[in-house]
């Protein structure tokens, strides 16, 4: 294999290893795929956003952000509050079966709301920056002249994952024709959101305390 192909393949595998684990963003893409609501737009937003953040990281901004402690603190605080809020909303949906009585999983959301939620889950989630901008950008730098091929491989991996998660979820639609299935899904989403949100708020407090103690 040529060095260029090797770099692209490494980026593809590394990118997938960072995003395949179910998180706040993935949970939302999965839910929208099951609901068959604005799937193409949501998948496009997530994939394009990942590509942009990967490009920023590879271009070297990751090193700059890593030096701005106040920015990392702000991202942790805002992201933690947002994810906890969304987690509570998912828990409320799971708690009230009357809003999950059809195969659409309750009240449909508008395109504007869906887009806003996808953007917020992407850009207010510190893990996205840590994974794509800082971590992936740093690893890509080790490939020196071939770092952009590494980035392209990671971008392709991201696009593939979100496409499978969003459009592949439709095959599971028959499973979610009963309110119980939707309650379970929303309960899982609530746990994921709250776990990540609380961990970010805890991290924010720890970093804040450490900065005052320094």
Those residues whose C-beta lies under 8 Å from the C-beta of residue 143, and which sit 6 or more positions away, are: 7, 10, 149, 150
Residue among 26, 21, 23, 57 at smallest CA distance from 43: 26
**pTM metric for this prediction:** 0.69
Look at 8-12, 89-93, 105-109, 136-140 and tell me which has the smallest mean pLDDT: 105-109
Q: What is the pLDDT of residues 5-54, one digit of tens each?
A: 888 888 888 777 777 665 677 778 888 888 888 899 999 999 999 999 99
What pLDDT does residue 104 have?
A: 41
Domain ranges of the chain: 3-213
DSSP states of 107-172:
SPPPHHHHHHHHHHHHHT-HHHIIIIIIIIHHHHHTTGGGHHHHHHHHHHHHHHHHHHHHHHGGGG
Residue 81 has pLDDT above 70, yes or no: yes
Residue 55 to residue 39: CA distance in whole angstroms? 24
Residue 101 has pLDDT above 50, yes or no: no
């Amino acid at each position: 294999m040529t060095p260029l192909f090797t770099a692209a393949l490494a980026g593809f595998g590394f990118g997938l290893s960072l995003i395949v684990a179910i998180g706040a963003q993935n949970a939302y893409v999965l839910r929208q795929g099951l609901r068959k609501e604005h799937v193409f737009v949501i998948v496009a937003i997530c994939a394009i956003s990942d590509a942009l953040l990967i490009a920023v990281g590879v271009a070297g901004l990751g090193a700059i952000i890593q030096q701005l402690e106040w920015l990392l603190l702000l991202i942790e605080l805002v992201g933690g509050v947002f994810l906890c809020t969304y987690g509570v909303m998912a828990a409320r949906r799971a708690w009230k079966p009357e809003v999950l009585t059809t195969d659409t999983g309750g009240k449909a959301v508008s395109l504007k709301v869906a887009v806003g939620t996808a953007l917020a889950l992407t850009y207010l989630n510190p893990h996205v920056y840590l994974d794509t901008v800082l971590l992936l950008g740093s690893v890509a730098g080790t490939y020196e002249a071939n770092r952009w091929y590494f980035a392209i491989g990671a971008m392709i991996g991201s696009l593939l994952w979100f496409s499978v998660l969003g459009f592949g979820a439709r095959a599971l639609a028959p499973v979610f024709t009963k309110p119980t299935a939707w309650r379970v899904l929303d309960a899982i989403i609530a746990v994921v959101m709250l776990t990540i949100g609380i961990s970010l708020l805890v991290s924010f407090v720890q970093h804040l305390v450490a900065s005052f103690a320094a």
